[in-house]
Structure formats: C-alpha cells, structure tokens
Amino acid sequence: MKFSAGDATDTALCVALKHEFLRCDDAFNEFAQSASIMVTRGEDRRVAYRAYNAYSRFIHHLYEFMLGAVQRERQNTEKLDWTLADRYIAGHAQRILTSRRTAILTKTSPSWENNLSYYPEKIPPSFAKEFRQLRNISSGHVKYERSSRSLTKFYHENHKYLYLLYHEAKSWWGRQADEFPDLKEITAFSVLLKDEPPKQP
C-alpha cells in the first residue's frame, strides 16, 4: 500500500520502526553483557548460548528495522523482493562506511573514532546476502543449517558493518529521553483485567 509522509500509515510505520529499533537496541545491549562475561570470566556453553541468542536477535531486529526503513523511504508497505532489500542494505552500509572514512581523512571525525585502517574502502560483496541469510537461519526460521552455520565467523567478518548500520539508526530511532516513548498498543499492553467503558447503543 502506498502512503505519504506524515499520514496515518506513515505515523503507524514510525511507531513500528521505533519499536523494532528498541528491540534491536535491547538485544545489542544484552549481547554486549554476554560478550563482556565471555572476555572477563571465560567461555562455557551457557554463556555462548546466551551470547548467540542475543546476537542473533540483534541481527534479526536490525534486519527487520532496515526493511521497514526501506518501506518508509519508498512510501510503500508492499513486501520487498530480497534482491531489492540486499541492494538497499549494501548501498546504505557503503554510504555510512564511505562517510566514516571521509571524516577520518578530513580530520572531522570524533576523537573516539577508529583508525582509518579499521575501515576498508568497500563493504564485502556478500555482506547483505550473508546478513539476510543469518537473519533467516539464526533467528527467523527453524532450519537445519543453524547448527552448522558459524555465527562466530559472520561476527568477525561483518560485525563492523552491522555496527555502522546500528549506530547510525540509534541517533534517530533510539531512546533520547528519560520518559519511555508512547508506542500505542505496544506500550498499552497489559495482563491486568481492566473495566471497559460501557458501549454506546
């Protein structure tokens, strides 16, 4: 369905995007905690299990957020063909990567920024495809490949590109105030029974 910026569909999509990014952020923070335990206390199966689950949720929610962002950019809620999704994600990651490199080269990057050597000139050609596949295998669907597909390998080869996408989105879609955002029916969810007002005849 096509929509226009600022209309009811766009507003509802923005609520869904905010929710999806907050889920992504929660998963990333949970992963960071598990990774910290791995580094400081050592590895075991339970810690690896928790880190895997958190990172796969991070991948899942970041990927879904990116698909929603494409819908908003296109002003169309129709399901995206995977080839278009791959092109969009690869192009967006490349733009952020190029921007980071340019800021380092022109000495306009913040003091905490990585060295230029950390960022290659181009994202790997397979990045978007592997991102999509890992989203499907590690979290999206129950597939037999899950037990043999290495999330560790993906992490070491592609985490910097996922982090670029995540960090850029966080500046706009992350929590920016002490008060939790109103996400309509999402934050109105309750397990408590409530009296409903009587219906008008």
Write out the DSSP string of 98-128.
HHHHHHHHTT-S-TTPPPGGGS-SS--TTHH
**CA distances from residue 30 to 33, 35, 47, 144 in whole angstroms, order as listed:** 5, 9, 12, 26
- pTM strictly above 0.95: no
Residue 71 has pLDDT above 70, yes or no: yes
- The DSSP output letter for 174 is S
Query: What average pLDDT does the chain have?
Result: 94
**pLDDT tens figures, 77-133:** 999 999 999 999 999 999 999 999 999 999 999 999 999 999 999 999 999 999 999
CB atoms inside a 10 Å sphere around CB 81: 9
